[in-house]
Amino acid sequence: MEQRISLITLGVTDVSRARTFYERLGWQGQEVEETVFFQAGGMALVLWARDKLALDAGVEGRTAGAFSGLALAHNVRSRAEVDQVLADAAGAGAEITQPARETFYGGYAGYFRDPDGHAWEIAWNPGFPLGPDGSVTIPDFGVS
């Protein structure tokens, strides 16, 4: 298994509602057969009905809790951008679960939950440089 991820599919209650949320954040997607695809760098974020995803994955009937045990992160280039994106997310209907604050690694970050409860961290991390295209590079920590 190569060391890469192709798609992240978010199971959602209402595809239109979910799409509207991401579009309010400025994302543009394509909807095909009630599935929305957002190209995101070399991968894609996908919105799909939660029950269809559960059926497809063979986990139908397994109920979900309030916290999915997983967070997506969107890293930005400044503290001000953290505040701006969190404000934009709140304006688009997100719940701010963790207001932005200083982090133990010398950065600044906060979290929101999208309308289906998926957790997103918005972070400024001076130790994880972003490329011109926004791609992140984990530094060589000198460990394994």
- Closer Cβ to a second copy, 14 or 128, answer by number: 128
- Closer Cβ to a second copy, 15 or 44, answer by number: 44
Residue 112: CB minimum distance to a second copy, A: 9
Burial of 73 from C-beta contacts in 10 A (0-12 / 13-18 / 19+): middle
Residue 100: CB minimum distance to a second copy, A: 11
- Closer Cβ to a second copy, 41 or 126, answer by number: 41
Q: Does the CA dihedral 50-51-56-59 come out positive or negative? A: positive
Residue 34: CB minimum distance to a second copy, A: 12
Is residue 89 within 8 Å of 120, Cβ to Cβ? yes
Residue 48: CB minimum distance to a second copy, A: 9
Report phi then psi at 31, rounded to 5.
-110, 125
Is residue 108 within 8 Å of 79, Cβ to Cβ? yes
User: For 58, which DSSP code?
Assistant: T
Rounded to a whole number of angstroms, the distance between the first and last alpha carbons of the chain is: 19
- Closer Cβ to a second copy, 16 or 135, answer by number: 135
